[in-house]
Copies of this chain bind each other. A is one copy, B any other.
Amino acid sequence: MSLADSQSRPDGPARGRPRSEVVERAIVEGVMRLLEEGVPLAELSIERIARTAGVGKATIYRRWSGKEELFVDVVRTAEPPDPELPGTSMRDDLIALLEQLRQRGLMTRSSAILHNVYAQMKSTPKVWAAYHASVVEPRRRLQVEVLRRGQRDGELRADVDVELLNDILVGPMLLRTVMRPDADLPDGLAEQVVDTLLEGLRPVSSPPA
Interface residues, chain A, CB within 8 Å of chain B? 119, 122-123, 136, 154-158, 160-161, 164-165, 167-168, 170-176, 178-180, 183, 189, 192-193, 196-204
The 8 closest A-B pairs by CB, nearest first: A171-B171, A200-B200, A167-B172, A171-B172, A171-B175, A167-B175, A168-B172, A198-B201
Decide: B157 and A202 in contact? CB cutoff 8 A: yes
Query: In whole Å, how far is A162's beta carbon from the nearest beta carbon of chain B?
Result: 10
Q: Chain A contact residues: over half helix, strand or loop, or mixed?
A: helix
Q: Please report the C-alpha to C-alpha distance between residue A200 and residue B204 in the assembled complex, in whole angstroms.
A: 11
For A136, what are the chain B residues with a Cβ–Cβ distance below 8 Å?
A: 179
Query: In whole Å, how far is A23's beta carbon from the nearest beta carbon of chain B?
Result: 33
24 contacts between A and B (CB under 8 A): A122-B122, A154-B203, A155-B201, A155-B202, A155-B203, A156-B201, A156-B203, A157-B200, A157-B201, A157-B202, A157-B203, A158-B203, A164-B189, A164-B196, A165-B196, A165-B201, A167-B171, A168-B168, A168-B196, A171-B172, A174-B175, A178-B179, A197-B200, A197-B201
Decide: B171 and A192 in contact? CB cutoff 8 A: no
For A170, what are the chain B residues with a Cβ–Cβ distance below 8 Å?
A: 171, 175
